[in-house]
Amino acid sequence: MNKSKLLVEKTIASKEVFNGKLLHVFEDQAELPNGSVSGREWIKHPGACAVVPVFENGDVMMVRQFRYPVKQVFWEVPAGKIDAQESQEQTASRELREETGVSAGEFAFVGHFYPCIGYSDEVIHIYAAWNLRVDEQDVDEDEFVQCQRLPFHEVVKMVHTGEINDGKTVICLLRTWQWWQENTPFQLTSSTD
């Protein structure tokens, strides 16, 4: 017997209570595994892609931006939501170009993760990018982003010291670092001691 089936909740009613540009909020009624009914509030999200762009010298392009809900500036990897009719790789390429001005000749899918499983269906797809060319940023008019190249091994240290503390960025950097060690599209010229 598959014991996971004993954990599954069944939606019996769903009502959209907010329909925004990005997020849609629902109030559902769910039948629990024991037969009782409970309310569930959750956010529908279109999904997103995040990119770790790796230069041949071992640098990665990071971005810094202010995040309004927590009123702080964060180190982040380039990322953004998937637009309608857009593939994941197209989103990764577009977000990389818009936020950093970088175009990539190569992309590789590293994996995906769910950042907010308690209240959202958002999934973030992680890509590594290389064979990079730097042009000019093309950010949205309501987006203010600063870019900086940093050694890959240094940003991994920044994760471990807590200087990088955006959850998406932490996961993307560590997963891509591990992926890079195993797949090695090219040898990084800088390395950890």
Rg (CA), the chain: 19
Tell me the backbone φ, ψ of residue 142, rounded to 5 degrees. Answer: -105, 20
CA atoms within 13 A on the CB side of 104: 27
Neighbours of 116 (CB within 10 A): 14
Max Cα distance, the chain (Å): 58
Question: 40, 121 in Cβ contact below 8 A?
Answer: no
Q: Which of 56, 136, 141, 154 is catalytic?
A: 141
Listed residue (183, 24, 19, 27) closest to 108, CA to CA:
183
> Any catalytic annotation for residue 86?
no
Q: Please name the helix (run of DSSP H) or strand (run of DSSP E) that holds residue 188, with its range, or none.
A: none
Assign 3-state DSSP to the chain and report helix, strand, coil percentages, each to 5. 25, 40, 35
Q: Are strands 146-151 and 59-67 parallel, antiparallel or unpaired?
A: antiparallel
Any idea which residues carry the catalytic annotation?
141
